[in-house]
Amino acid sequence: MPGWRERRWGSTRHVNEAVPSALQPTDPLPPKPVVQLTATLQLPNGLTLEVPITIDSGSNADFVGVQFVKQHRIALLPATLPLNVVTVDGRKLLGGQVVQQTPSMLLKIGNHREVISFNVTQLSDTPIVLGMSWLDRHSPSLAWYQRQLTFGSKGNSCI
């Protein structure tokens, strides 16, 4: 039938004859609830780095990886509020309770600037994760499919 098409999801073949091809998804999986960007981070020692960050709506807090902290010799502080970190399926994180945090650092994402401290934990894919606490503070517009982040008119600076 013209204007209709068949789709494959995984190894099972599905034919959808009720939905025009223009309305069928072009990607069989929904977008991940993360956006990956590059930001500028000024460390407590004054060194400025370009770092990959992940904005993850599935994370409740903001984190920096232990390896990043060790690599850049960032002195740590006791966590203001120790956190028990669990994965999405309810398992406790291998590193256990988060009991340390970084001193405040300057973070720049595009024109946005802020002073931020991170909870320290084991991260595998990215050195920095900004979670729902960060998203709640800033309420940026996220174009999930394009992986683009836009701050509102008052969101350019938190300093």
Q: What is the pLDDT of residues 17-42, one digit of tens each?
A: 444 444 444 555 555 567 889 999 99
pLDDT digits (tens, 9 = 90+) for 52-74: 999 988 888 999 999 999 999 99
In angstroms, rounded to a whole number, what is the distance separating the alpha carbons of residues 45 and 126? Answer: 22
Q: Which CATH architecture has domain 34-150?
A: Beta Barrel (2.40)
Contact 21, 43 (CB under 8 A): no
Cα-Cα end-to-end distance for the chain: 59
Nearest 5°: phi and psi at 100? -130, 155
Ranges of each domain in the chain = 1-28, 34-150
Give residue 114's identity as a one-letter amino acid code: E
pLDDT grade for 10, boundaries at 50, 70 and 90: very low
Angle at CA of residue 156, ends 102 and 110, nearest 5°: 75
- pTM for the model: 0.73
Contact 63, 79 (CB under 8 A): no
pLDDT digits (tens, 9 = 90+) for 76-99: 999 988 888 776 566 666 667 889
